[in-house]
A = this chain, B = another copy of it.
Amino acid sequence: MVRLQKSIDKRNALIKATIKLVNNNGFHAAPMSKIAKTASVSPATIYLYFEGKQDLVNKTYLEVKSSFTTYAFATYTKDVDIESGFKKIWYRIAEFKLKKCDEAMFLSQCDNTPMIDEDCRKEGIKHLQPLLDLWKKGKEEGIIMPLSDYVLYAYTINPLSFLMVAQKRGVFKLTKEQINAAYTAAWNSIKKNNKNK
């Protein structure tokens, strides 16, 4: 099984190199030659593991997206109430954005450029289902505002991406307090029974 392990290592090195280079200078400045060099591999070797550049990027996206959702739901169980469940998932996502900064940066770039194929993007969203289920239940129970999942995502999860990018650019620091404040803002934006004024 030595051979198989070496293959896995090489594939991982290529994916890691792709993330790193795309993060540093964008998709347009991550040529195959540089990806190969970063992964300590010949350019030709990439084509043993991936069909081409588009495939490499797509597969990297799927890998990272999967890593993201696995992390997000690792501590979540369905047997808790809506707010607790949401809170647990939210904080895990926040933790991911902070700890797995490279992966999170890569995803934020993928989500906003046409560098990923549409089919692949759809595939990547599938693993988010537990959160959507939670929201559905929350809406049925009258705890969460009856908003589209996209709106709920836009106001609770997506701001974390924005803040993470800002932090990475060095213009802003996400402290523990900032994160707690952000959670409150997130929950306030979607919970029902807001006493206005």
Contact = CB atoms under 8 A, between A and B. Distances in A.
Contacts of A28: 26-28, 115
A153 to B, nearest CB: 7
Interface string A23-37: 011111100000000
A145 B185 contact: yes
A194 B194 contact: yes
A8 interface: no
B145 A26 contact: no
Residue of A29, A113, A153, A158 with highest tally of chain B CB at under 10 A: A113
A162 B154 contact: yes
Nearest to A112: B112
